[in-house]
Amino acid sequence: MWFLLILIAIIAIIAFKTIKIVRQSEVYIIERLGKFYKIADAGLTIIIPFFDHVRSVVSLKQQTMDIPPQGVITKDNVTITIDTVVFYKVTDPAKAVYEIQSLKKGIEYLAITTIRDIIGKMDLDETFSSRDGINNQLRVVLDEATDRWGCKIDRVEIKDITPPADIRDAMEKEMNAERNKRALILESEAQRQSAIMIAEGKKQAAILEAEADKESRITRAAGEAQAIKEVADAKAKEIQMVYEAIKNSNPDDKLVQLKSLEALEKVAEGEANKIFIPFEATSTLSSLGTIKEVFKN
């Protein structure tokens, strides 16, 4: 009975040592007698107990590693603190286990030295405005350095850049001054635009007023000209009628001269009319006046 129990226990131990279940996105590094033997992929794996053993379990998923905040000195001798995170993935599990003692420590130390080298060549303002450039430089350097370790650096992101307190206060004051400057510039620009619009409005109003006055003058002058023309036409018709009446009555020369003078007198009543009398007619004016009085009686 005891022998059977011991045999079952031995079989269970052997089975436990022999049968390995590898999970998805993981691989086992199998050694045989202390030497690398194979990489066991996901699924069921059989190994020989006491000869083979699992050296390491390596994850093939993308992994993240926070780099502890580091104090670095910029080109203009300002000490800032940079917090960084690295995204990496193991591409060759055997190299990741055998080429370096600790892959995570290697990436961390390499990232710290690279950050100090890159930031040491930049001014403080440049570090804030060139995060993408810093991230890209870090990724390229780390990717090249970790390739021999069977590792691929996918991304490097700077989470935070913290300057000293006095520098931060000075930057805040500078930003406030810049905001006030932009506000004053916008206000002055708005006032300028308003003045331009007001002046343009006054200009257009003056132009329209001048156009209206011009049209009014033209219309009034046209009306006056038309009125003068109508008066002149009426006077001409009146003279024509008098002339026709005298002509039809077959008057003598004295009567014609008298009626002509009466017509000229009526024509001269208009303010816009001017009468020119021939010099030859002035010799008979005295006698015509007497004749006119006779006709009136």
Asked if pLDDT for residue 293 goes beyond 70, the answer is no
E strand or H helix that includes residue 233: helix 165-248
pLDDT tens readout for residues 52-70: 888 889 999 999 999 888 8
Asked if pLDDT for residue 254 goes beyond 70, the answer is no
Beta bridge partners of 29: 39, 56
Split at pLDDT 50, 70, 90, the class of 290 is: very low
The SS3 of residue 25 is: coil
Q: Cα(176)–Cα(170) distance, rounded to whole angstroms?
A: 10
Q: Quote the pLDDT of residue 264.
A: 57
Place of tokens 């926070």: 66
Model pTM score: 0.55
Q: Cα(50)–Cα(285) distance, rounded to whole angstroms?
A: 165
pLDDT tens readout for residues 160-191: 888 877 777 776 777 777 777 888 888 888 88
When comparing pLDDT for 81 and 225, which is higher?
Answer: 81
Q: Cα(59)–Cα(86) distance, rounded to whole angstroms?
A: 16
Q: Cα(65)–Cα(59) distance, rounded to whole angstroms?
A: 14
Q: Quote the pLDDT of residue 6.
A: 80
Q: Quote the pLDDT of residue 179.
A: 77
Asked if pLDDT for residue 278 goes beyond 60, the answer is no
Least confident of 59-63, 66-70, 271-275, 293-297: 293-297
Asked if pLDDT for residue 263 goes beyond 70, the answer is no
In 74-226, where do the E strands start and end?
79-90, 151-162
Q: Quote the pLDDT of residue 297.
A: 43
Instruction: Give the chain's mean pLDDT.
Output: 79
pLDDT mean over 267-277: 52
Phi, psi for residue 241 in degrees, rounded to 5: -65, -45
- Residue 14 tokens read as 């052997």
Q: Which CA distances in Å does 157 have to 65, 66, 179?
A: 11, 10, 29
- Residue 67 tokens read as 């780099």
Q: Is the dihedral of CA 53, 55, 58, 64 positive or negative?
A: positive
Listed ranges 5-14, 15-24, 287-296; the one with the highest mean pLDDT? 15-24
Split at pLDDT 50, 70, 90, the class of 285 is: very low
The SS3 of residue 130 is: coil
Split at pLDDT 50, 70, 90, the class of 89 is: very high
Asked if pLDDT for residue 289 goes beyond 60, the answer is no
Q: Quote the pLDDT of residue 249.
A: 64
The SS3 of residue 73 is: strand
Q: Cα(120)–Cα(1) distance, rounded to whole angstroms?
A: 76
Under 8 Å between Cβ of 121 and 75: yes
Q: Cα(72)–Cα(119) distance, rounded to whole angstroms?
A: 7
**DSSP string for residues in 29-49:** EEEETTEEEEEE-SEEEE--T
Beta bridge partners of 157: 85
pLDDT tens readout for residues 118-164: 988 888 888 888 888 889 999 999 999 899 999 999 999 988 888 87
Least confident of 132-136, 235-239, 281-285: 281-285
